[in-house]
Structure 1
């Protein structure tokens, strides 16, 4: 009698531990794709928002008007969040009774740096999970394969029959775990590298914007009359 070699039958006839491994790998794959789509959407949204904000920033308008526009739109993420943090500190320093340009610039830089780190951490959220799935899934799949092959050989020993018809289902069942491990790992690993480069570019963009804004407020503070 020809054994049933369909995918569903092999999984249904697998040992309990092998089935648990397959379920874990399936969950890891679903989680990684959810993170991939969510992270891709987030990076695109932040990039588009940064383009729009920087167009307004470099249009030559008043920074106070731009700040009020950002606050009304509630678009405080990415570059706009860094700008808002710096501008708020800038206005506080301007209203200070003892305005020292060097101290004011240092305070503004600190606030913008804190906002920049916060924004980068928000974008990086989830990348560690992708890295974990990409690195661990192959080993989980390998464990399921080893267990499945061991289980198959135990069955062969009990049946005392090593024909291909007897061996094939057990080996195929075991190799499914390896395939599932790769299915979960490869997209997660590729996405992790892709998003890591995207975050690095975004971080450099934040740093460049911070430097440009510090230059603007520095000129303003050094040319303003001291109290």
Structure 2
């Protein structure tokens, strides 16, 4: 009976012995797997946790880092858009973009005024110098021929001739000083109007030169403010968040300087050129005044002198003799 029971329990003992041997042999392999230096990207890594009561640590699996996190850890962030001037303009805020457009239009206006006023000043100076030479060579207003293309010089001659015609009735009775003063007043007003007309447009240059940098600074402040808002929303100081807004802000400042610096230089150039043109106007007005004065003197000489009555001298001599 005992032999039969021992024969029945022997297979069970053999099975338990085989299982114990298998567990014993697989233990070193599991320990070697846990102590590997690193696992490739995309696979799970095993991180030991501290055990309680001195027991052996239990393996815990952790997910592998994502591809973007690996790139960020390497310190090479991917910027969100192009940082060229055109790309920064297209990606800028509405306010910053409006500032850039306004400054660009101001720069276009500056160069348009420069080309137009340069041609206008050149032609006006040439015409006035030719008129001054003609006025200086003339002997009187009657010797001058009015030309519609004479410009300001023609206006001065016409004003002087008109004043002489209006004062014709009193030229022989009243002194010539009044006519000269009225002619000088007309010429001075024509000179002032011509100078002001030639200075038109330079005020725009002064405004652009003085206001342009501050407008660009406003765009800079707005762009940097948006950058800090983006930092606060993203909760990070990554270069991909900070760089675009700051670059757009600096672009607004650069455009402001590009618009303001040429405006200041061109304004100073026109100030000197218009000053020279006003000197030529003053020379023309002085030449016309000389012609008016010369005509009045010639008229005074041509005026018939009153004849002395007969016996005027004898009467005087007689009275002197009588007194003596």
Structures share fold, TM-score greater than 0.5:
yes
1:98 is aligned, of 170, 177, 199, to: 170
Aligned twin of 1:172: 247
SS of the residue corresponding to residue 161 of structure 1 reads coil
Cα gap change, 1:162 to 1:82, in 2 (>3 Å):
farther
Offset from partner CA, 1:34-87 (integer Å, 9 cap, x none): 11111111111101111222233334476335333x1xxx22423333333233
CA contact (8 A) 2:135 2:288 kept: no
1:214 is aligned, of 285, 289, 296, to: 289
Within a 5 Å distance, the mapping from 1:1-227 to structure 2 comes to 1-3=78-80, 4-60=82-138, 63-68=141-146, 70=147, 74-93=148-167, 96-99=168-171, 100-225=175-300
1:208 and 1:60 mapped to 2: Cα distance? 14
Q: How many residues align?
A: 221
Structure 2 unmatched ranges of 5 or more: 1-77, 305-324
Higher relative CO (CA 8 A, sep ≥ 6), structure 1 or 2? 1
1:104 and 1:174 mapped to 2: Cα distance? 65
1:86 and 1:65 mapped to 2: Cα distance? 13
- Please provide the CA RMSD for this pair: 2.0
| Rg (Cα) greater in structure | 2
CA contact (8 A) 2:141 2:291 kept: no
Question: 1:169: Cα distance to partner?
Answer: 1.5
1:87 and 1:184 mapped to 2: Cα distance? 48
Cα gap change, 1:215 to 1:55, in 2 (>3 Å):
closer
Larger helix percent: 1
CA contact (8 A) 2:140 2:291 kept: no
Question: 1:187: Cα distance to partner?
Answer: 1.2
